């Protein structure tokens, strides 16, 4: 995956270019399955937008979405599959699940997207599952909240640039956080790290092959006071091979007796994994 470091400048050009053509304004409820095409792009949220139960919104490669700080709430299914040459820009949009029940879970599948600003799954406590792959998320305004997913979730080969990290709880399905670059992750006001687990009743939080670069917070953590938190964090690249320095990037029972256990981090990588986006220079 090619690294796109100047994300803001790239998206600024895309948005600027979109202003010269007619936008498709959207808001309200998408009641039935719909496809957003590049020929009708950009799509501009003029109000909050919902994808109804049993409806699917399919977003084609190259479609531009101007969120304007509005919410896109998924009760049905969102499929946004871009490509390396035609990614899908999401600019300043609040994307989350609805308040789905467990027997009607929502679904999100995003690949090759550039998400700048806005939110992704922040504070979302509806039932659902998601895949997030090969994407760039930069300058999000809050952390990602993975709340008891109904199926295995995959967070793979993404770049998290100046975001607020991922908070995970699950019972049954597993959450795979693999081959991601975490760059200058910033703690929230509550001190959340780059990756945190607060519940693992069944399944696993698997943190593997990631690169942690220039973090401003702890890399991985078990949330203190939560008795069923657990995480495996082996085979990651921490920017160092000094075990003491790596241990200092981890928060578990070695740091707080109220944590549910310890995070295993050995063996660790001496260089970034080949399938992980390269560190930013």
pLDDT digits (tens, 9 = 90+) for 25-79: 999 999 999 999 999 999 999 999 999 999 999 999 999 999 999 999 999 999 9
Q: How do the domains of the chain map onto residue ranges?
A: 1-116, 143-281
Tally Cβ neighbours within 10 Å of residue 268.
Answer: 15
Q: How many whole angstroms separate alpha carbon 144 and alpha carbon 149? A: 13
- In angstroms, the CA 77 to CA 57 distance is 6
pLDDT at 77: 98
In this prediction, residue 277 carries a pLDDT of: 98
- Cβ atoms of 113 and 140 within 8 Å: the answer is no
In contact, 149 and 129? CB cutoff 8 Å: yes
The two three-digit tokens of residue 272, written as one number: 């970034």
Closest of 185, 172, 265 to residue 222, by C-alpha: 265
Is residue 13 helix, strand or coil? helix
Burial class (CB within 10 angstroms; exposed 0-12, middle 13-18, buried 19+) of 188: middle
**Cα-Cα end-to-end distance for the chain:** 16
What pLDDT does residue 7 have? 52
What is the model's pLDDT at position 19?
45
Pick out the chain residues at pLDDT < 70.
1-21
How far, in Å, CA of 255 to CA of 247, rounded?
A: 10
pLDDT at 238: 98
Note the pTM of the prediction, 2 decimals.
Answer: 0.91
Q: What is the β-pairing status of strands 136-138 and 113-116?
A: parallel
DSSP 7: H
d(CA 135, CA 146): 17
Alpha carbons 20 and 12: distance in angstroms, whole number: 13
Which token pair is 109?
A: 């599948």
Please give the DSSP secondary-structure letter assigned to residue 277. Answer: P
User: What letter does residue 278 receive in the DSSP assignment?
Assistant: P
């Amino acid at each position: 995956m090619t690294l796109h470091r100047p994300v803001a400048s790239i998206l600024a050009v895309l948005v600027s270019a979109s202003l010269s053509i007619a936008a498709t304004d959207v808001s309200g409820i998408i009641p039935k399955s719909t496809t957003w095409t590049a020929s009708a792009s950009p799509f501009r949220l003029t109000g909050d937008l919902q994808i109804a139960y049993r409806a699917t919104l399919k977003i084609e490669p190259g479609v531009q979405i101007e969120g304007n700080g509005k919410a896109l709430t998924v009760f049905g299914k969102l499929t946004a599959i871009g490509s390396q040459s035609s990614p899908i820009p999401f600019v300043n949009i609040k994307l989350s699940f609805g308040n789905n029940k467990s027997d009607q879970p929502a679904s999100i599948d995003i690949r090759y997207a550039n998400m700048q600003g806005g939110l992704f799954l922040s504070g979302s406590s509806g039932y659902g599952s998601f895949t997030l792959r090969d994407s760039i998320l930069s300058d999000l305004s809050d952390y990602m909240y993975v709340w008891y997913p109904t199926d295995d979730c995959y967070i793979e080969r993404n770049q998290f640039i100046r975001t607020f990290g991922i908070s995970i709880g699950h019972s049954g399905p597993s959450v795979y956080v693999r081959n991601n670059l975490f760059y200058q992750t910033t703690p929230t006001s509550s001190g959340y790290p780059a990756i945190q687990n607060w519940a693992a009743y069944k399944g696993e939080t698997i943190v593997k092959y990631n690169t942690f670069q220039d973090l401003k917070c702890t890399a991985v953590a078990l949330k203190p006071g939560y008795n069923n938190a657990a995480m495996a964090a082996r085979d990651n690249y921490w920017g160092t091979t000094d075990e003491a320095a790596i241990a200092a990037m981890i928060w578990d029972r070695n740091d707080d007796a109220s944590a549910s256990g310890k995070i295993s981090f050995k063996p660790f990588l001496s260089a970034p994994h080949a399938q992980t986006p390269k560190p930013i220079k």
